Amino acid sequence: MDTAKRQRLEAAGWTIGTVEEFLGLSPEETAFIEMKLALSKAIKQNRIRQQMTQHDLAQKIKSSQSRVAKMEAGDPSASLDLLIRTLLTFGATRQDIAEVILNSGS
């Protein structure tokens, strides 16, 4: 956000902060959320790169299209286990997954 906009909002009585401050998240909670979102993004990228529909992926991982949609959207109900198993289904290596997680904070 540019300085002028920030000043206008603050002058109007708005408080400017981060999502972490607003939700009261600890650094650990923030890191966990960022990792899950990075894994979700990697799943969608892999699915699109392999020209698969969400339905195709769901069949491959023995799940439902709605579960795949939730995974790709970063829904909190998508477990870390399912996200990682799905990436492994695409042929991702442990190193690939580690890189996704490593780059999640950047």
Residues recorded for the chain: 106
Burial (CB < 10 A; 0-12, 13-18, 19+), residue 61, is: middle
| Tens of pLDDT, residues 57-80 | 999 999 999 999 999 999 999 999
Cα distance between residue 59 and residue 17, in whole Å: 42
The whole-number pLDDT of residue 85 equals 97
User: pTM of the full predicted structure?
Assistant: 0.81
Which residues lie closer than 8 Å to 78 by C-beta, 6 or more apart? 36, 40, 67, 70, 71
Closest CA to 82 of 36, 33, 46, 41: 36
Cα distance between residue 55 and residue 16, in whole Å: 41
| Tens of pLDDT, residues 11-32 | 999 988 888 888 889 999 999 9
The two structure tokens encoding residue 89: 């289904």
Look up residue 60 and give its DSSP letter.
Answer: H
